[in-house]
Amino acid sequence: MEELGTVQAKIISREIIKPSCPTPPHLRNYKLSSLDQLTNRNYIPRVLFYSNNINYCDSPHNTTANNKSHQLKKSLSETLTLYYPFAGILKGDGISVDCNDEGVDFLEAQIHCQLSDILKPPKLEALHLVLPSGLLLGNNSYKGGSLVVIQFSHFTCGGMAIGMCMSHKIADGCNMGTFLNDWAAMARQSIVLSPHFITVSAMSSVPPPGDPFIVPEVEIGKEARVTRRFVFEPSKLAELKAMITSESAEIENPTRVEAVTALLYKCAMTASKANSVPFTLRSSILSQLLNMRPKMVPPLQENSVGNLVWYFTISVTDEKDVNLHGLVGQLRKNRTEFYNKYAKNVTVNEWFIVSRKLLRDLKELFESNNSTNNVDFYVSSSMCRFPFYKVDFGWGKPIWVSTAGGNVFENKFVLMDSNREGGIEAWVSLGEMEMRAFERDEELLSFAQFNPSVLD
């Protein structure tokens, strides 16, 4: 029994769900791509909340609850036949998966409260109750075990939550959205397309990309950091975009992600300055995540499985550059230059070779600046337009999708679609002192709400 204040969560069952059909012998050894190999072993969390007007009693033997649980487990087993590496085990070398049909952990829990008790407004500290225990973002506790861990939670009001943690070694955020939708389609007995795996075996004609280079594992819990949730309503996003456009004739129709990323970066730099001694702007670098699938030649489908993302960077060294239109301009310019220099007319095989060199360059950039300790690093990733709000297992679409709490890294922004079409949620992780200044920033709060209810 887990407890947070008056909220209690009780695990009522735990099973291993295996693929419904055994994986053929010739597919048993799944060799990870070079980017998968270089990715840390942390787990990506996601929680989908569903409402239900039917009241459950607290008993786990309730027929309706059991029917839905059976439906989830049966369809998950069928889906794992298509996503067979997800049911395997990462080998000790970290470069391949033994697709031995070991299965994935499936927990079922009873949450002794109403859904509204933790969503009106969202109690971020309670989200771990609807996730597999101990697997918040960045926790490596399932190292060597299940690559996917799922918890199906029932609330006393009849609401439900599906919490999933997926190893970053085998997939990225785009894959998580595709997997969840395929699982839901299988539960509705709809057509599911087989995923396309980007593996070393699929790149047999590509020579080895140089000496082995392994990214060190991220140490979790070493730094004090705070995560906050800010929501941008569609009308406020329109105001923000209009303001940016009015500042410079060169910036036309900034996207939602460009506008919000620029604002978060500007406010984070201001917060860092407020805590600097002397009271001056620190140089900073922002890395922006890109989904490389549509940029390959030929373009890859969204169901291409593997870590197919990259970062480009922008930087600020002078106070005069801390303005929204300038930051949006940098985001556009540097993104275009990155594509033209590294990803234009590039096949996926060629991209893996290029990305290995880029990772070395990025690592050297961070290490050289960290050695002087006078540069702030920020990372921003957007999961907007990923189809999390379409995940319908047969009882409706989720009323809210959460990234589920703290981030691995300090100074990180995670952007997601809000549950209102056209809106954005920003999950921001900063150091404690920086967050105190950030969450009081008047410009930020003129466009964003701090952690509003998702049920209004």
Predicted confidence at residue 115, as pLDDT, reads 93
Q: How far is CA 108 from CA 91, 149, 177, 184, in A?
A: 28, 11, 21, 17
Alpha helices in 83-220 (DSSP H): 115-119, 173-187
When pLDDT is cut at 50, 70 and 90, the band that residue 162 belongs to is: very high
Is the same domain home to 147 and 254? no
Predicted pLDDT of residue 238: 97
Determine the longest span between alpha carbons in the chain, in angstroms: 64
pLDDT over 80 at 6, yes or no = no
Residues 128 and 198 in one domain: yes
Within this chain, do residues 259 and 382 fall inside the same structural domain, yes or no? yes
Examine the domain organization and report whether 92 and 235 are in the same domain: no
Distance CA 411, CA 380 (A): 9
C-alpha to C-alpha distance for 75 and 150, rounded to whole angstroms? 13
Residue-level pLDDT at 1: 60
Both 273 and 199 in a single domain?
Answer: no
What is the domain range of residue 108? 2-203
Which one is predicted more confidently, 455 or 92?
455
> What are the tokens at 81?
């036949």
With a cut of 70, say whether residue 431 has pLDDT above it: yes
Residue predicted with more confidence, 328 or 61:
328
Question: Coil, strand, or helix at residue 134?
Answer: coil
Per-residue confidence (pLDDT) for residue 201, from 0 to 100 = 47
Euclidean distance between CA atoms 149 and 189, whole angstroms: 23
Reported in sequence order, the residue ranges of 126-245 that DSSP labels E, i.e. its strands, are 148-155, 160-167, 196-197, 225-232
- pLDDT > 60? residue 181: yes
Structure tokens at 320: 């005069």
Does residue 444 contact residue 267 with C-beta atoms inside 8 Å? yes
3-class SS shares of the chain: helix, strand, coil, % to 5: 35, 25, 40
Q: Tell me whether residue 392 is one of the annotated catalytic residues.
A: yes
Residues 242 and 194 in one domain: no
Most confidently modeled of 118-132, 199-213, 323-337, 348-362? 323-337
Q: Does one domain contain both 193 and 234?
A: no
Q: Are 147 and 88 in contact (CB under 8 A)?
A: yes
Which tokens is 260 given? 């919000």
Q: Are 252 and 275 in contact (CB under 8 A)?
A: no
Asked if residue 11 and residue 155 are part of one domain, the reply reads yes
Number of domains in the chain: 2
In a domain, 209, yes or no: no
Helix axis angle, 63-82 to 173-187, nearest 10°: 120
| pLDDT tier, 210 (very low <50, low <70, confident <90, very high otherwise) | very low
Mean pLDDT computed over every residue of the chain: 86
Q: Which entry of 105, 168, 417, 441 is annotated as an active-site residue?
A: 168
Is the pLDDT at 117 greater than 60, yes or no? Answer: yes
pLDDT above 60 for 283:
yes
Task: Please state the rounded mean pLDDT for residues 404-412.
Answer: 67
pLDDT tens figures, 121-156: 999 888 888 988 655 444 454 444 789 999 999 999
* Closest C-alpha to 325, from 249, 422, 230, 415: 249
In a domain, 214, yes or no: no
CA angle 12, 400, 55 (to 5 degrees): 50
* Catalytic residue (one of 98, 196, 321, 392): 392
- Rounded CA separation 409/429 (Å): 7
Q: How far apart are CA 77 and CA 393, in angstroms?
A: 14
| Model pLDDT, residue 81 | 98
Q: Which CATH number goes with the domain that contains 24? A: 3.30.559.10
Packing angle between helix 234-247 and helix 324-338, nearest 10 degrees? 90
* pLDDT tens per residue across span 215-256: 444 444 445 589 999 999 999 999 999 999 998 878 899 999
Residues 153 and 275 in one domain: no
